[in-house]
Homo-oligomer: A and B are copies of this chain.
Amino acid sequence: MRILVINPNSTVTMTAQIGESARRAAFPGTVIETVNPKGTPASIEGHADEALAVPAMLELIRAGEARGFDAHVIACFDDPGLAAAREVARGPVIGICQAGVQVASTIASRFSIVTTLPRSVPIIEDLVAGYGATGRCRNVRAVNMPVLALEQEPETCELRLLHEIRAAREQDGAEAVLLGCAGMSDMCDRLQAQTGMPVIDGVSAAVKLAEGLVGGRYLTSKVGAYDFPRVKFPQAAG
């Protein structure tokens, strides 16, 4: 089984870190490959960054299917272009926010999410609402650091994450915490160990769900909304 994990931003060090987390999560027989588009924003911090990353990401998925990948993971917690990706793919496409929410909803009755910047909070709230988990998600918190600061100041970030995870437990009544950025995936185990709280990394969650969907021979439905994009009749375009 071959899974292509796509980091939609163009920061190669982050792609590498995501790849390590993904491979650590995978079953022994699973081949994980990672890739990021070129020319997309260095980090995804808002809707405009998402929009600029998606077209190149769709091309990587098309190419991935042509190269025989069985499933694709979009390794950005905003799940950018997830529905569009399902249109272009025959196999399953997993977003790390949706995957993390599904895992959290299976092991806990209430959870909180901790992300990077406050501006991403409404974006994640809306995603969670779309996944039907508003009632289970106690709070979306932010450490108030940009995405790339996760790499540049990892110790500060980890301290703030510890603080927010503890606050999620004590103030929110959360029973598990979902890390709200792919760039946090390498801290997951330490955070869980230090807080005694179940901490969920979306990258790992998505890899496990992707393996399951491929193993179960599930394909993206081509009836209705996720059908392949329509080829247009030739037309005078200006």
Contacts and interface: CB of A to CB of B under 8 A. Distances in A.
A219 B198 contact: yes
Interface residues of A, number: 96
Contacts of A102: 102
B52 A173 contact: no
A133 interface: yes
Contact of A209 (B81, B106, B176): B106
A70 interface: no
A180 to B, nearest CB: 15
Indicate how many identical chains form the complex: 6
Interface of A: 10-13, 15, 25, 27, 36, 38-39, 41-43, 45-52, 54-55, 58, 81, 83-84, 86-88, 92, 94, 98, 102-103, 105-110, 117-119, 121-123, 125-126, 129-136, 146, 148, 152, 169, 173-176, 196-198, 200, 204-205, 207-209, 211-213, 215-216, 218-221, 223-227, 229-230, 232-233, 235-238
